[in-house]
């Protein structure tokens, strides 16, 4: 396979990959509506916790540390929502986000990230959680126990706190309260922290009855399967539940697998990890304390609704005693430094595809350049220069081979005419010429093959890093993660790619039609690049400019070398 055919092969393979991803994204059918649940499953809104009570750890401390040894209940280890009652909603304002909370269940119904803009309307904040006519993505929590009726996410709470604005404070505590049947109460406490996307969610359970109670606390994310996050049409970022443990590492679960009951996120006796709902650029995750035993679960709810959560049992709470169960909730952007600080392994949700081992150091370099110049566009330019410099030896060798082929093109054409009727003799004569002039016709293949993983890794960095979302470069480029709306970069790419083909000779024996296809490929790719993120087109355009400069210099050097050789032969 000659160099030009290899280039075409690689280009068509990558194009097919991107187009297949786009087709999957656009034609992925929504999961069918769930069948009506069996009557016996709807008799109770709260699942039995007999197994939790029997397996709870005894002791004076009420800090969550015990877990069930049984599988999660059929309802997904948490009560299903059946009440249509509407509670009172209020908004908590912090420095990074505004949280809308409903007193019905203490449910977090909306998280508006004030530092990140909506994909379609940049005058609005991005909603990483929401509940409206079109979308549902909320955080729910509650308690259940065998022999006791405890508050859950259908219980109406009463507001205890009156201040819902953080202002200049470092923390803000918002407290709701609900009575426990038989005596006592459960205070649901949200603790917000300055400069943090983490909210501590705490159940303070006071047993006012005459017998001990052994609660199980559950925390889950409840959402539909619709894809959001400003995903570009030419990419295929994962959206759905995910769980991480040190034993099983990072596991993504497709909504379809939950629908077909193939998903198994249960991690009985796990003492580490987290559970999340992941989407492009953003993530919501429950982050249990390391060392505490817990069980993860997923479930399919009525309609287009799914849950992913975690539950853990508390030790028995004696009459008159109070216990606490706290779980941090992360709801924010996939900023890698922030994710690493939040929980071990949480940064893995940034989807870099199969070349993560290359993409991660590449993003580190890109971030380093950004800190140096303060602009992601110029950081991409500097990273492109660095990549070109790293591959210079390979590209130079390939460039010399291509340059020599251009210089000796007349001789090659002469051989083709001389042996037009004998393919075997033509190949033999061509090989002799290559050997004599030290031309490697396959010399351009290795640099292309080696750089394919690098290009794909950079592709994923540019589309997966939230840091580049809505990041401007210069003038008309207001968002490097979105296509160039004025098509300037695709046109510049086409021009540079066309110039590049003029500097590289066609392979010997290439059909004229193939030569024309190769010549017009830049136009075809420019059309495709209209839908690509501007940052990626910027990278490829700068790479072309550098390649043109390198090949022009090599061609000039070879012309001088040939002229000097011919001058010596004439003496």
Burial class (CB in 10 A: 0-12, 13-18, 19+), 188: buried
Side-chain half-sphere exposure of 363, counting CA atoms within 13 A: 24
Digit-coded pLDDT (tens) for 411-462: 777 777 787 777 787 778 877 777 776 666 655 566 667 777 887 888 888 8
Q: What is the dihedral of CA 360, 199, 129, 337, to 10 degrees?
A: -10
Q: DSSP 3-state assignment of 242?
A: strand
Q: Are 240 and 253 spatial neighbours (Cβ–Cβ below 8 Å)?
A: yes
Distance (Å) of CA 229 to CA 350, 386, 532: 13, 31, 16
How far from 62 is each of 57, 77, 270, CA to CA, in Å? 10, 21, 19
Question: How far is 294 from 556, CA to CA, in rounded Å?
Answer: 68
pLDDT at residue 329, as a whole number: 98
Question: With 50 as the cut, is the pLDDT of residue 34 above it?
Answer: no
Domain limits, CATH 2.70.98.90, in the chain: 40-351
Whole-angstrom Cα distance, residue 294 to residue 348?
21
Torsion sign (Cα): 32, 36, 38, 40: positive
Asked if residue 57 has pLDDT above 60, the reply is: no
- CA–CA dist 437, 306 (Å, integer): 67
Contacts of 409 (CB under 8 A, 6+ apart): 505, 508
DSSP letter at 257?
H
Helix, strand or coil for residue 206? strand
What CA–CA distance (Å, rounded) separates 276 from 139? 11
Q: What is the pLDDT of the chain when averaged over all its residues?
A: 80
pLDDT of 338 > 90? The answer is yes
* CA-based nearest residue to 325, from 239, 429, 436, 214: 214
365 or 566: which carries more pLDDT confidence? 365
- Is 311 within 8 Å of 297 (Cβ atoms)? yes
* 2 pLDDT higher than 90: no
Fold exhibited by the domain 40-351: Beta-galactosidase; Chain A, domain 5 (2.70.98)
- In this structure, are strands 158-159 and 171-179 parallel, antiparallel, or unpaired? antiparallel
Collapsed DSSP state (helix, strand, coil) of residue 449: helix
Looking at residue 471, what DSSP letter applies? Answer: -
């Amino acid at each position: 396979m000659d160099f030009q055919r290899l280039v075409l092969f690689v280009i068509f393979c990558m194009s097919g990959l991107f187009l297949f991803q786009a087709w999957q994204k656009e034609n992925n059918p929504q999961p069918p509506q769930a069948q009506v649940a069996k009557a016996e499953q709807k008799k109770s809104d709260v699942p039995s916790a007999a197994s939790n009570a029997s397996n709870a750890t005894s002791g004076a401390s009420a800090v969550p540390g015990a877990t069930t040894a049984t599988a999660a209940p059929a309802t997904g280890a948490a009560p299903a929502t059946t009440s249509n009652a509407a509670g009172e909603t209020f908004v908590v304002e912090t420095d990074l986000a505004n949280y809308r909370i409903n007193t019905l269940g203490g449910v977090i119904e909306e998280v508006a990230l004030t530092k990140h803009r909506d994909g379609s309307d940049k005058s609005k904040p991005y909603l990483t959680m929401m509940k409206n006519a079109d979308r549902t993505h909320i955080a729910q929590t509650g308690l259940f126990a065998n022999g006791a009726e405890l508050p859950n996410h259908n219980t109406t709470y009463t507001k205890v706190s009156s201040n819902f604005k953080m202002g200049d404070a470092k923390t803000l505590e918002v407290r709701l309260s609900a009575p426990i049947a038989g005596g006592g109460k459960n205070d649901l406490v949200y603790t917000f922290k300055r400069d943090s996307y983490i909210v501590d969610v705490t159940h303070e359970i006071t047993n006012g009855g005459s017998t001990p109670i052994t609660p199980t606390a559950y925390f889950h994310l409840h959402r539909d399967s619709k894809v959001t996050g400003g995903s570009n049409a030419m990419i295929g970022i994962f959206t759905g539940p995910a769980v991480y443990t040190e034993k099983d590492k990072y596991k993504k679960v497709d909504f379809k697998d939950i629908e077909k009951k193939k998903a198994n996120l249960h991690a009985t006796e796990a003492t580490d990890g987290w559970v999340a709902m992941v989407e492009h650029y953003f993530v919501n995750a429950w982050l249990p304390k390391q060392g505490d035993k817990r069980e993860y679960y997923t479930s399919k709810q009525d309609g287009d609704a799914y849950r992913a959560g975690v539950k853990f049992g508390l030790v028995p709470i004696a009459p008159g005693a109070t216990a606490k169960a706290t779980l941090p909730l992360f709801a924010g952007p996939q900023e890698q430094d922030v994710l690493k600080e939040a929980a071990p392994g949480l940064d893995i949700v940034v989807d870099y595809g199969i070349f993560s081992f290359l993409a991660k150091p590449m993003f580190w370099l890109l971030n380093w350049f950004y800190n140096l110049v303060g602009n992601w566009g110029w950081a991409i330019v500097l990273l492109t220069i660095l990549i070109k410099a790293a591959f210079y030896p390979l590209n130079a060798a390939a460039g010399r081979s291509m340059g020599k082929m251009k210089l000796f093109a007349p001789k090659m054409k002469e051989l083709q005419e001389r042996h037009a009727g004998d393919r075997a003799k033509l190949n033999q004569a061509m090989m002799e010429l290559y050997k004599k002039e030290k031309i490697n016709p396959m010399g351009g293949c290795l640099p292309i093959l080696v750089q394919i993983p690098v290009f794909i890794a950079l592709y994923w960095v540019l589309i997966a890093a939230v840091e580049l979302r809505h990041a401007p470069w210069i003038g008309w480029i207001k968002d490097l993660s979105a296509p160039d709306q004025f098509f300037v970069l695709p046109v510049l790419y086409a021009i540079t790619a066309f110039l590049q083909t003029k500097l590289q000779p066609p392979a010997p024996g290439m059909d004229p039609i193939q030569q024309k296809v190769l010549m017009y490929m830049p136009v075809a790719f420019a059309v495709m690049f209209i839908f690509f993120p501007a940052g990626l087109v910027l990278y490829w355009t700068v790479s072309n400019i550098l390649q043109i400069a390198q090949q022009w210099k090599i061609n000039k050097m070879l012309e001088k070398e040939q002229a000097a050789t011919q001058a010596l032969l004439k003496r």
